[in-house]
Amino acid sequence: MLGAVGMMAGSPAVAHDAEEPEKRDDIVVLGTRTSRDATLSSDRATERMSQSSRSIEQDILRAAGTYRLSDALELVSGSSQQNNRGGFADNFAIRGFLSTADGGGEYYTDGFIANRGSAPARDPATIERIEILKGPAGAVFGDIDPAGRVNMVSKTPRFAPQASASVQFGSFDTRRIELDATGPLTETLAARIVVATEDSDGYRDFVTLKRRVVSPSLTFRPNDGVQLTYLAQHIAYDSPFDRGVAAIDGDPLALPASRYLGEPSNGSTRARDTRRQLTGEAKLGGSWSLVGGLAYRTGSLRGFSADQSRLVDGHTLWRQRRERGYEVEDLSARLELRGDVKALGLHHPSIGIKGYTLDYLELLNRRNPSAANAYAIGIFNPVYGVAQPLPLLPSIDQRETRRVLSLYAQDAWEVSDRLSLVGGIRFDTYRQQLARNLVKATTVSKGRPVNFRLGARYTVTDAISVHANWGESFQLNSGSGAGGVAFAPEQGHGYEVGAAGHWRGVDVGITWFDIRKSNVLTTDPTDSNFLAPVGSLTSRGIEFDASLRLARRWQAVVNYAWTRARNDDRSFATPLALNVPDHSGTAFIVYRFDPGSGRDWSISGGVAYVGKRSGATDASGLVLPDYVKVKASAEIPLTTALTLRAEVDNLFDERYAQSSYNSFWIYPGAPRTVRASLRAQF
């Protein structure tokens, strides 16, 4: 592999990748799509019917300075940042809904759920593009969710030689190196390897970061009808587990953003995640093909922390010491037959089978604080290393296992040149077992739910179309609540209606949605150490997205969302959904120009607005204030192969709360952050 990388780096670049030409779809592409592997992406019905969806490509991800998934989600309406699990999770909500408040919203990588149980944040170096698939039509290989799905498509081999390397330095002594090389080994075999390493002191006192990522892959294409891609990825993520700051008299910004309320002597928590994946496509003749794959993932999260528990006398914070030992093993498989049938128009049917097994172990030892042993720290003048905890006690020792098999079928029917219909059905059979070892109790649940989706799209003119989608969802919840009872599955249904316009260089869409789900997990209002299900959560709102590309020089992305997410569960002190603003929006602009050097320079800038949000589910009434955050960057080509980039995030050093779990776990947003990088591309 190393020899191949050397040969690729020394080979001349070619103008076009040797990939199949891409067919035009109706997911709006933000940026320039270089290649598309049908085995890793959303299905064809989504491409046609989900006009509120967006695909964020590599050039826009780089221009926007995307270092976490939350940075990319700013470019699309209707997403909101959620509690980041001590800095170790990509956690978000779409249209007001998330998976769990502390475990993270489920997201896909190459069509497989990538973070069931526990997984560290993905590194941008391995991502080719990010698909934000909205509404009931936003399906990924048969999955249905009325809110939407996120699918991150990995970088995979190409048969055109290409290599790049970059070094970056930034605020808080951040150092980062990326290497990416791909190209043919033979006429039928191509390889790629992506490596990234990052070290940072961080903007939070004592909260350092050490991240290592390596992702090799191979693509075998013996003929035009068969393609197999093997991809592996290993992530090592080390950082102190950090629950952020506490609110003072209801003010989430009372303490400096740098104030660390944990204990440095607890050291770093270690997250490890290893993924092995094989995907492929076989063309059977005519328009028919088989698409499928296997993904096997193992992961762990281990370490100690001091988590904020209670504020007494206005300045003394009691803490709870914890030791985590989480392990996950996840095996997924899928196979789909797809093709075209002419009958009263053109049908695009697909039939698929998929399944997974999950083995998730949660071990948590902790010691609750008390007046006799508060394990306390002063919030205004913290002195570390003085408070000594008592020995930890077993708190959670449970193993969850799942066996799930799904069958699905759908048809995207082009009735005429103007009218398209889609219908889908999904049947699941599952067995979920939760063994709570401390009390010697085991809960087993089984079920065979059936869910449907329906949609229609009508082209009013060559430029304007209207659409409507309706769908149901079913999702298993992990773990148990404060009483030890296993959580029931989450169920939901919802619809969207909207209109979209496509003109040369301009894509505009507006969508109204209305979604209701039951058993959505959030922070328990009576005991924040646990999660609890909301009886019913309804989210409705309006989303507006626009993208413009004018004469190669100007590119703009603009969005706005009004999201009213409310629950009707009276056991919660507030009906507001955690961390979901009623109003949010973003504008991002890229301008490219040639100052006379023969090479394009670029400058870009963006502004993001996030409205007021509920910061807790309890009676504290905590509200996170609204904020405006500005970013800017410039890229200067020094030679044909070498580019200098400078960027600044939070340009005006806005103080803001990024997200919260309760009044004591509020994660502050990063202050002004400056980065400079040098990128070589061959």
Residue type, position 517, single letter? K
- φ/ψ (deg, to 5) at 124: -65, -20
- Euclidean distance between CA atoms 573 and 617, whole angstroms: 6
DSSP letters spanning 496-563: EEEEEEEETTEEEEEEEEEEEEESEEEE-SS-TTSEEEES-EEEEEEEEEEEEEETTTEEEEEEEEEE
pLDDT for res 103:
61
Low-confidence ranges of the chain (pLDDT < 50): 1-25
**How many angstroms separate the CA atoms of 158 and 36, rounded?**
11
Query: Using one digit for the tens of pLDDT, what is the confidence trace for 157-215?
Result: 999 999 999 999 999 999 999 999 999 999 999 999 999 999 999 999 999 999 999 99
pLDDT of residue 676: 97
pTM: 0.90
Element (H, E) at 48: helix 44-49
Q: Rounded CA gap, 191 and 159, in Å? A: 8
pLDDT digits (tens, 9 = 90+) for 354-398: 999 999 999 999 999 999 999 999 999 999 999 988 999 999 999
Which tokens belong to 616? Answer: 């807790």
Reading the block at residue 579, the tokens are: 């961390």
Structure tokens at 6: 């050397």
The radius of gyration of the chain from alpha carbons, rounded to an integer in Å, stands at 25
Question: How many other β-carbons are positioned within 10 Å of the β-carbon of residue 180?
Answer: 20
Domains, the chain, ordered by start = 44-361+373-681 (2.40.170.20)
Residues 6+ apart with CB under 8 A from 15: none
Q: What is the Cα–Cα distance from 105 to 331, expressed in whole angstroms?
A: 19
